[in-house]
Amino acid sequence: MAISALPLGLSLFLMFSNVGLNGGGKVLYFIAISLFFWLSFSFFYIPYSALGAELTSDYHERTKLRNYARIFSSFGNMGATAAPLLLISLLVGSGKTQQFSWSCAGLFVGFFSAASILATLYLLRNQKPGDTIQESSPINING
């Protein structure tokens, strides 16, 4: 999973960058970058999907773990959708070109994608397969 962080971040940056090619060259470039992205994403997502089974053998703990992962993933997806557009509008509003602004957005998304992968690995660095997940006290939403 760690090996995917840099290629995934780089592929996201390259997807949003204008390379100055025309016609067929640009099409081939984006086909190659798309393949690079999906390969990098697969190197991340396959182990990430199996992470719950590696962390615990208990069905209920795995269910809780995957639910938390989906919640954080949903918020991350919302942020990754909205933040680049806000960044682009701020940059264009300050006089930067569209091309520069989109490249900055790609750098932003690529950086935070790679950083979230590395943060996940850092937070799980001491967890060994089969260890019980430390459970915190439940949150009381009723007051």
Question: Per residue in 54-72, pLDDT tens?
Answer: 777 788 888 888 888 889 8
Q: Does residue 49 register a pLDDT over 70? A: yes
**Helix intervals (H) in the chain:** 5-15, 24-55, 59-93, 98-123
CA distances from 122 to 2, 27, 103, 117, 119 (A): 10, 38, 28, 9, 5
Give the residue-averaged pLDDT of 92-103.
94
Q: Does residue 139 register a pLDDT over 60? A: no
CA–CA distance, 29 with 45 (Å, rounded to integer): 24
Q: Identify the pLDDT of residue 76.
A: 86
Q: Does residue 114 register a pLDDT over 90? A: yes
Nearest of 93, 102, 124 to residue 2 by alpha carbon: 124
- The SS3 of residue 74 is helix
Q: Identify the pLDDT of residue 1.
A: 78
CA–CA distance, 44 with 91 (Å, rounded to integer): 31
In contact, 110 and 33? CB cutoff 8 Å: no
Give the residue-averaged pLDDT of 108-133.
81
Q: Identify the pLDDT of residue 108.
A: 92
